[in-house]
Structure 1
């Protein structure tokens, strides 16, 4: 019997939805990264782009590949979870942090900074370099977390593609950098894999830990929380949970830096943030 034409798009959509759910379940079981509560509508364009880059015909084919290739699995996780990591990404935001954080961190005997949903070494070392240049690094602990241990392993190597150095140097200077990025690198020559590495001393105050925004509780009090992932990609209940978690984890008058697209317009009743510079995604806990 022929299938009515009107039912074909619905059937295709159903298959894609099933494939998406199975892929997210596979990523959770294999890599420990729980994306099952993220909005599928937000994930789908990234999945399609990943499929096309890899020449794969379906999400089922993607699932088969990432279950047997860890490097490919980590690549997919970075594609799905977060924006691509970049050193001194959004220079105007970094310049604002330089200007804003000084008086606040100077008043703290020990400052704690949480980089939540870390997508690569660049996310964390941006803060490490900024803190060093502003004179706060030696009194600061940097906590870098991600849901995937594999992603953390890749980030904690402290490496980035040498091909990005020119762009990163421009970002750094536009953000108010006072030196040159070469001052923070082991060598100006890439390794056999085409990567450059940050100097080990720059990582001595960085603590790497697996952490899941969907399930884990607050684990410290912080003066600054950076979450440059995509809060707007989370389903509403999980987004509200994450905002409560950040509020509970911040010291009073502590700062929260999010992506401008994640504007905090709809806060839970028990969460109180004031916009310091909403266009740059900078907020402050005021109670």
Structure 2
């Protein structure tokens, strides 16, 4: 009887917490216009609980109160629910596939456009820039890197990396197919490194919501390896349809995992490799 009572109590607490999360997400949407309601709950809950711990709060409801009434609280939530930042070339095998996929796809195109949707911080965008430069494609390629909020946009436009990360990422860069010195692509000042201006200027950073916004251009390559795992099933299909509508014929799509039979647009793609979720649109 005691075990049943304990389980019932746990279930009630869990149900209350789930309700609190729903109310918080609705408040964020109604007050600030950012829609996380279609996100997968396990990952979202984990990140919200981390915000609670960092702020010394006991409940999601107390966090909601601060989001609505305390300056800076909403920004903390937005950053917590954003794609976690990564290091340069942190996925070398996947980046090797990206190098091959984009190289083959973009060379026949006079002025190719690549969309990096919800990157894992500035390092993922700079990884792409270096890769395109080494493939002799960067001078005529425009990269659009989009993030969900103005706060993240400000962070990206003003970002730098600790100079020590260049040495740490050198082996990953080499494993991805790089053959030079990673540090040669950066300028260093006061212990911080920034991508060379001639490479940074080809990246257009913009605020854009995968959740609510419509297709805004036609692209020859779309890469979204980091944000999709956060999305629930309905939102994921919405974004896959968006990518299908935004990708040119014979363009390349890079995702977090392989497409399934029920995924939006699956019949329009051809896999590029035996492993990894890289596709070419063929119809």
What TM-score does the superposition give when structure 1 sets the normalisation length?
A: 0.85
Asked if the contact 1:32–1:148 (Cα under 8 Å) also holds between the matched residues in 2, the reply is no
Q: Which residue of 1 aligns with 2:253?
A: 256
- 1:29-87: CA deviation from partner (whole Å, max 9, x where unpaired): 566432111121231223334444555433345445666464x7556434433243221
Q: Which residue of 2 aligns with 1:217?
A: 214
Aligned partner of 1:276 among 251, 272, 275: 272
Q: Which residue of 2 aligns with 1:286?
A: 282
CA distance in 2, matches of 1:278, 1:55: 47
| Deviation, structure 1 residue 203 | 1.2
Q: 1:210 to 1:55 in 2, by over 3 A?
A: same
| Deviation, structure 1 residue 141 | 0.5
What TM-score does the superposition give when structure 2 sets the normalisation length?
A: 0.86
The aligned length equals 277
Does structure 1 residue 247 correspond to structure 2 residue 244? yes
| Deviation, structure 1 residue 274 | 2.0
Q: 1:144 to 1:239 in 2, by over 3 A?
A: same
Q: 1:29 to 1:187 in 2, by over 3 A?
A: farther
| Deviation, structure 1 residue 223 | 0.8
Q: 1:98 to 1:119 in 2, by over 3 A?
A: closer
Does structure 1 residue 231 correspond to structure 2 residue 228? yes
Q: Which residue of 1 aligns with 2:144?
A: 143
- Residues 68-217 of structure 1: pairs in structure 2 closer than 5 A: 68=70, 70=72, 76-187=77-188, 189-190=190-191, 195-217=192-214
Asked if the contact 1:39–1:235 (Cα under 8 Å) also holds between the matched residues in 2, the reply is yes
Moved over 6 A (4+): none
- 1:115-170: CA deviation from partner (whole Å, max 9, x where unpaired): 00123111211111111111111110100111111111101224123453333222
Q: Identify unmatched segments of 5+ residues in structure 1.
A: none
CA distance in 1, matches of 2:265, 2:112: 28
CA distance in 2, matches of 1:245, 1:235: 15
Q: 1:97 to 1:47 in 2, by over 3 A?
A: same
- 1:210-269: CA deviation from partner (whole Å, max 9, x where unpaired): 11112211111111101022424322222111111101111111111112xx32113236
| Deviation, structure 1 residue 25 | 3.5
Find the residue that maps to 2:94 and give its secondary structure. helix
